[in-house]
Structure 1
Amino acid sequence: MAVNDLIANIHSGHKRLLSLVDGADLAQPSVLPSWSRLHVLVHIANLAAAFTRQAEYALAGRSIEVYDGGAPGRAAAIEAGAARPAGEVVRGLAGATRELERVWSTVGSADWRRPVRYRDGDLAGTVLAYWRELEIHTSDLDLGYRPRDWPQELCAHLLEFLAGRLPEGAVLSGSPRERAVWLAGRAPCPVELAPWP
């Protein structure tokens, strides 16, 4: 999918996400073990901020780690953020997503190939990754948007991106959506999967 199409989908996804959380009890558990809905929202907000920073540095011809402190810093920031009041978390989410959209709107067509530290890829790759995270984690909130609502394009992407989770020689039977949900770990899989790539 072209970058501009992904960004259009992300804009729509942001609107859907903010609508779903409006008035919801965000202290309730998400579908992810040990994570409340607040944890999920903080993670999305922090990822938006991280990819904003990746874009800003890439456009300046520089690179920077995705998260300060690496994986431990990422985990600590999510836990700290999830302890904040729900209204504060939602305002932070709205601000982070707006800023990500603003920065991406300044990227020229040739600049999407600029290198970033995220997976040692390019700026376009962060858009694809953020779309994937936004769609999956919105369904993790258990607020009415579910894996059955994932777009077909996302399911096709997940089948390719997560293919390495399957043991060698293993084959999953089922619809593309069913297989994508299994590989994403959002339903019990008939085979034991390797870690997320």
Structure 2
Amino acid sequence: MAAAGGLLRGPEVWAYVLDGHERLRIALAELTEGKERGSSRLPGWTRAHVLSHIEGVCRAQTRQARYALKGELIEVYDGGRPARDAGIEAGAVRTAAELTAAVTATLAEAEAVWGSVGDADWDRPVRYREGDLLGALHCWWRELEVHTADVNLATCSAAWPRELCLHLFDFLAPRAPAGLTLVESDGSLRHTFSVGGAGSYGTVAGDDSVGRAAVVRGRLTDLASWLAGRQPHQQLDGRLPELGPWP
């Protein structure tokens, strides 16, 4: 396991992604006809909207990998954000069976492409955030886990692995006001966000006082869920400050 706040290696992230694929497949097994029109955990989106988005972002990041392995760069979405949004709306009209087949096929495609990435390939450049393959895989991991929970079927954020929660703390740090401290109630982690989106990790102390800064305590998965803009499964303790947009 990576240290708190540390960056996992490519094969480690890929192992967690494969676990996430299986949880999504389990959720899809519950998607009987009619359930695709039910509400997701995202306001204004049905389950079909979320699954359509999962399919699209999976395909987009998989093609980042496919082209990177050929030494080529390609945009994340042809047509940018407008085309992405239009694709979600168009895909959301499909039936449960059609959505299940489409998402399942996209997962299989992802496993074929990402599974061929070697140890020397992770720093290959991609267009996604002008980063590298490892960053693109981290993106798919976040999108996969967060939106699988959003589908509101068999799995939820309570199933998120600890390593994902720590990664979300780091990635979503720009959302947090400086000085906000998150304290894990089911473990020993304490994380304080500083100016500029950085942060520091430590262990839980007896005194939660950090001056006027907010201190929020809860289970690690609930803290990560709230930081990601989702409703925690168990109530958090402390004053919840307003969060900024996703970075």
Bucket of the pairwise TM-score, normalised by the shorter protein: over 0.9
- Inter-partner Cα distance in structure 2 for 1:139 and 1:45: 15
Larger proportion of strand: 2
1:154 maps to 2:164? yes
1:4 maps to 2:14? no
- Inter-partner Cα distance in structure 1 for 2:115 and 2:176: 37
Question: Which of 14, 18, 27 is the matching residue for 1:20?
Answer: 27
TM-score by length of 1: 0.93
* 1:183 paired residue number: 227
Counterparts in 2 of 1:112 and 1:34: CA distance versus 1, 3 Å: same
CA RMSD, 1 decimal: 1.6
Shift of 1:170: 4.0
Q: What is the DSSP-based 3-state SS (H/G/I as helix, E as strand, rest coil) of the residue aligned with 2:11?
A: helix
1:127 maps to 2:137? yes
- Inter-partner Cα distance in structure 2 for 1:186 and 1:156: 16
Identity level (%): 48
- Inter-partner Cα distance in structure 2 for 1:35 and 1:141: 9
1:194 maps to 2:235? no
- Inter-partner Cα distance in structure 2 for 1:13 and 1:178: 18
Q: For residues 72-102 of structure 1, what are the alpha-carbon distances to aligned partners after superposition, in whole Å with 9 as ceiling and x for unaligned?
A: 1111000000112221111111111101110
1:163 maps to 2:173? yes
Give the partner amino acid of 1:196: W
Question: Which of 108, 111, 132 is the matching residue for 1:101?
Answer: 111
Question: Which of 174, 185, 195 is the matching residue for 2:217?
Answer: 174
Shift of 1:169: 4.0
More relative contact order, 1 or 2 (CA 8 Å, 6+ apart): 1
Q: List alignment gaps of at least 5 residues for structure 2.
A: 1-7, 182-214, 233-238
- 1:29-40 equivalent positions in 2, closer than 5 A: 29-40=39-50
Question: Which of 57, 61, 64 is the matching residue for 2:74?
Answer: 64
Question: Which of 146, 149, 154 is the matching residue for 1:136?
Answer: 146
Structure with higher Rg: it is 2
- 1:70-109 equivalent positions in 2, closer than 5 A: 70-109=80-119
